[in-house]
Structure 1
Amino acid sequence: MITLSGFLRCRTPEESQTVSHYLPEHQQLSRAEAGCLSFSVTQTADPLVWRVDESFTDNTAFALHQQRVAGSEWGRKTAGIVRDYKMSEGYDYG
């Protein structure tokens, strides 16, 4: 299992509005991808910071997700927003 967690750190209210505007479709498409176990992006108490938590079955599923995102409207519109992520690989014993 591949997990990614961290934050989108917007520098301006306009960047945060961009996240808010394009997020619903991005979440819907991401959750529908083969191998996506969970996908959550939520605004924190700081309106410029968004919490990101994703998990995928394996490296292949995660790589395909990244490839789709790179070519998506979300990817283009949010490219300049700072991403502060940590990735880990592990097993789901649940």
Structure 2
Amino acid sequence: MIKLTGYIDVPADRLAAVSEALPKHIALTRAEAGCLSFEVTPDASHTGRFQVSELFVDRTAFDAHQSRTKMSDWAKTTDGIPRTYQIEDLTE
């Protein structure tokens, strides 16, 4: 399994657009083959920060997710926004 955890820090001037695009991004990701869980939630203690937690069955499913999102509306909406992620291979 591949696990991604971390956060995305959304600037105040882009918060409305990101918040509007987020439900579709979540729905599309959860519908992907191999997605076990996908959560993106606002951080109560840090305005504009969203905590991200993803779990995919294997590297192939995770890589497919990464490829799909690079071409998505989500990628356009969040282009240039800082992300801090850690990716773990839980099968090693």
Please tell me the TM-score bracket, short chain as reference: over 0.9
CA distance in 2 between partners of 1:40 and 1:48 (Å): 16
Q: Does 1:87 align with 2:82?
A: no
Match of 1:63 in 2: 63
CA distance in 2 between partners of 1:84 and 1:15 (Å): 18
Q: CA RMSD in A?
A: 0.9
Amino acid in structure 1 at the alignment position of 2:18: V
Match of 1:6 in 2: 6
Match of 2:77 in 1: 77
Match of 1:22 in 2: 21
Structure 2 gap segments, 5+ residues each = none
- Give the SS at the match of 1:27: helix
Q: Percent identity?
A: 43
Conserved 8 A contact 1:4-1:88: yes
Number of residue equivalences: 90
For normalisation by structure 2, the TM-score amounts to 0.93
Conserved 8 A contact 1:7-1:49: yes
